[in-house]
Amino acid sequence: MVSYFASCACLGDRRKYPSFFRTVPSDAFQARAMARLLRLFGWTWVGVVAGDDDYGKFGIQLLLEELQNSEVCVAFSETIPKVNAATKILRIVDTVRRSTAKVIVTFAIAPDMYALLREAVRQNVTDKQWIATEAWITSSVISSPQNLASLGGTIGFALRKGDIRGLRSFLTRFRPEVLTSDPLQQEFWEMMFGCSLRNDSTPSPSPRPRCTGSESMDDIETLYADVSQLRATYNVYKAVYAIAHAIHDMLSCQPGDGPFEKRGCPDVTNLQPWQILHYLRAVNFTTPVGEATHFDENGNPPASYDIINWHVGAKGTVQFVKVGQFDSADRSHSKFNIDVKRVVWGGDQNKMPVSVCSAPCPPGTRKARQKGKPICCFDCLPCAEGEISNTTGSTECQKCQDRFWSNAARTTCIPKEVEFLSFQETMGIILATLSVSGAALTATVLATFFCFRNTPLVRANNAELSFLLLLSLSLCFLCALAFIGRPAPWSCMLRHTLFGISFVLCISCVLSKTVVVLVAFRASLPGGDIMRYFGPVQQRVGISLCTCIQVLICALWLVLAPPVPSEIQGRSPRIVLECDVGSVAGFACVLGYIGLLAAVCFLLAFLARRLPDNFNEAKFITFSMLIFCAVWIAFVPAYVSSPGKYTVAVEIFAILASSYGLLLCIFAPKCYIILLRPDKNTKKNMMAKQKP
């Protein structure tokens, strides 16, 4: 059997139908073409309607197989029943109308689709894009003008249209004089031209004029003579020619060159079915329109479909416009092309409809499947910091490489910003200004003391020790500048050693002044001779010894594990440049030694706070050391918890705050008397003692 219209893929089963051939493509190719169409237009959320027969069931099954792993999901799947269909059709159309899927794929014969689409038109379902099979895409009944509101823009696959040479002339060549022997042909002629071929004069209720004999089928346009849409007819033509070629090849067989046993040929007077089947399998010819025709191992021909789009003509009728073509020489190779610019879309839209369960995730996000729903339904989650997606519909976000970070939109990786406390930023400018101002203020106090070095107040406060203390305070203020700017090996070593040594020198001077106050009071008591052990030389030795210990600690630190520049990246958009202390133990020893001296100094000053003294030297030292200790105690948790460059800012703030505390508490009262109350800057006033 050579079929021209049975397209069900089930007929390709050679175990059941070993002698079945066809010139109509198998629905397996049509299912593949439909899947290509859906993927091409990005329709990933579709509804499916099938007929309750082999054509519909096998067709939809093939389509679903083609859609596997293609991210096309089925919103619903309905079957048009053959019996008691009215109620079910109402429910199917209601499902179509309510569904969010804008594209409806059908696999059903024309009568089934007619019943369904008639109800869709009645319910005014106009926002859907219908995808048709060859069974109804060229149906004149379904494509009637009254259905265009709902079905205009329908896209489908039609059997390839062919041209059968001489068919029209064959259909129109008969004349009235040769029709006398065939009543059916006579009736057809009379209906076409509205005349009568009868010779009797019997009157009739609506008499027709006699045919003149000059009528011609070439002069009228009828469906009978219309050969512009030869689709199924073209397959009939190919089926007949396939059998004809098989018979011709069989008759052309030469003994000794045949395909059978002993290279024999078939006996044409006693042909066997299996012999004809052999020649039919080997048929290979080209039609007049250039189409190659042959059969594969399953009896299927090469697939060729015209992609048809329903346009509205000038008179409001449907025009079947070819907008593309699908050709497949075999199962593994196919050609699919469509002219999108010529397509008229369904659903009263002037642009391609969008049929998705979830809109594509834009760059900067990733897809997260919604629980309990098809893979096409998902949420779009923003990429995490440090991750990007630069394509639409990404399923995963990619981490940026080292030294790169995601931009705000999470679409590209950009170089991380290098962060350090700079002289150009506001915080750096403020801290540098405070540092220089502190050094300048200290220099001003030093100049004031130098100018009034011979006055009783300056002499009574050990001018040499005061000058050394002011010099060390200047270094404390200026060492803060070493903490600002891009870290370098030399600056990392300088900032910590200069800080440690200058503060030890400063605290040593304050400690020496405190000891002098205590010793001076003891020496003023009867029998006191202790002052000779704390003269200027002893003070210098004590200060030098305390400072040298810190110098030794810093030297060992720099030799064994010096501070070095380092980068801190982590999960941050910035690369923080800072000075790694190298040895935590070394840094702890530097701070611990400063803390030890400060604690001893504070304790001695606290013990001497009530000693009788007009100038209250011990009390002011107590205040200064209280501020110093409070600042550095608060520094530890603030330093640990501050991120990035703010760690350095906290350290600078502690340096400046403690330095200003020492400068103002110890020297501000003295400068007040020197500059504003010179009447108190007398020897008599300095020698006077307050009562305890």
Q: For residue range 70-100, what is the model confidence (pLDDT) as tens digits?
A: 889 999 999 999 887 889 999 999 999 999 9
CB 37 within 8 A of CB 72: no
Is the pLDDT score of 350 beyond 50?
Answer: yes
pLDDT higher than threshold 50 for residue 510: yes
Residue-level pLDDT at 607 = 79
Confidence of residue 375 (pLDDT cuts 50, 70, 90): confident
The residues facing 653 across adjacent strands are none
Contact, 460 vs 686, CB < 8 A? yes
DSSP state of 391: S
Number of neighbours of residue 405 by Cβ within 10 angstroms: 21
What confidence tens digit (pLDDT) does each residue in 434-479 have?
A: 999 999 999 999 999 889 888 888 877 778 888 999 999 999 999 9
Q: How confident is the model at residue 331, as a pLDDT?
A: 55
Instruction: Give Cβ neighbours of residue 387 (< 8 Å, ≥ 6 apart).
Output: 397, 398, 399, 400, 406, 410
pLDDT at site 44: 92
DSSP letter for 550, please: H
How far apart CA 356 and CA 673 sit, in angstroms, is 86
Range with top average pLDDT, 145-149, 224-228, 255-259? 145-149
Distance CA 497, CA 594 (A): 12
Domains of the chain and CATH, by start: 2-163+300-342 (3.40.50.2300), 175-219 (no CATH), 365-416 (2.10.50), 426-564+575-686 (1.20.1070.10)
What percent of the chain is modeled with pLDDT above 70? 92
The region that residue 164 occupies, defined by phi over 0 for left and psi between -120 and 50 for alpha, beta otherwise, is beta
Range scoring the smallest mean pLDDT among 179-183, 221-225, 558-562, 630-634: 179-183
- Name the residue with higher pLDDT: 289 or 109: 109
Place of tokens 């506001």: 426
Would you say 575 and 400 are in contact if contact means Cβ atoms under 8 Å apart?
no
AA identity, residue 310: W
Backbone angles phi, psi at 405, to 5 degrees: -145, 155
Tokens of 458: 């300056």
Q: Which residues lie closer than 8 Å to 69 by C-beta, 6 or more apart?
A: none
The band of 254, judged by pLDDT with boundaries at 50, 70 and 90, is confident
pLDDT for residue 125: 92
Q: What is the pLDDT of residue 157?
A: 95
Q: Has residue 673 got a pLDDT over 90?
A: no
Q: What is the pLDDT of residues 136-165, one digit of tens each?
A: 999 989 999 889 889 999 999 999 888 888
From 124-128, 524-528, 595-599, the region with the lowest mean pLDDT: 524-528
Inform me whether the pLDDT recorded for 685 exceeds 80. no
Mean pLDDT of the chain: 86
Q: Is 579 helix (H, G, I), strand (E, B) or coil?
A: strand
**How large is the average pLDDT for residues 174-181?**
66
DSSP letters spanning 134-177: TTTTT-TTTT-GGGHHHHTT-EEEEEPP---TTHHHHHH---GG
Look at 650 and 618; give whichever has higher pLDDT: 650
Q: How confident is the model at residue 346 (pLDDT cuts 50, 70, 90)?
A: confident
Q: What is the pLDDT of residue 524?
A: 53
Q: What is the mean pLDDT of residues 519-548?
A: 70
Phi, psi at residue 436, to the nearest 5°? -65, -40
**What is the DSSP track for 646-678?**
HHHHHHHHHHHHHHHHHHHHHHHHHHHHHHH-G
d(CA 212, CA 215): 7
pLDDT of residue 523: 53
The answer, yes or no, to whether residue 520 has pLDDT greater than 80, is: no
| pLDDT 10s digits, 654-669 | 999 999 999 998 889 8
The pLDDT of residue 691: 42
Residue 176 has pLDDT above 70, yes or no: no
Task: Provide φ and ψ at 411, rounded to 5°.
Answer: -110, -15
Which tokens is 227 given? 């050969």
> In terms of Cα–Cα distance, which of 312, 265, 42 is closest to 153?
312
Task: Name the band, by pLDDT with cuts 50, 70 and 90, for residue 414.
Answer: very high
Say whether pLDDT at 391 is over 70. Answer: yes
Contacts of 285 (CB under 8 A, 6+ apart): 241, 242, 245, 292, 293, 294
Nearest to 648 by CA among 498, 482, 505: 482
Q: How does residue 513 score in pLDDT terms, banded at 50, 70 and 90?
A: confident
- Please give the pLDDT value at position 690: 44
Amino acid at 331: R
Confidence of residue 58 (pLDDT cuts 50, 70, 90): very high
In angstroms, rounded to a whole number, what is the distance separating the alpha carbons of residues 457 and 459? 5
Residue 522 has pLDDT above 70, yes or no: no
In angstroms, the CA 692 to CA 686 distance is 16
**Please, are residues 267 and 251 in contact by the beta-carbon 8 Å criterion?**
no
Q: Does the structure show a pLDDT above 90 at 413?
A: yes
Three-state DSSP at 485 gives: coil
Contact 2, 23 (CB under 8 A): yes
Token representation of residue 376: 């096409």
Closest CA relative to residue 112, chosen from 144, 145, 78: 78
Q: How far apart are the C-alpha atoms of 219 and 238, rounded to whole Å?
A: 29
Query: How much is the pLDDT for 602?
Result: 86
CA 618/CA 187 separation, integer angstroms: 138
pLDDT of the residue at 406? 93
Dump pLDDT digits (tens) for 278-316: 889 989 988 887 888 899 888 999 888 999 999 988 788
Distance CA 16, CA 20 (A): 9
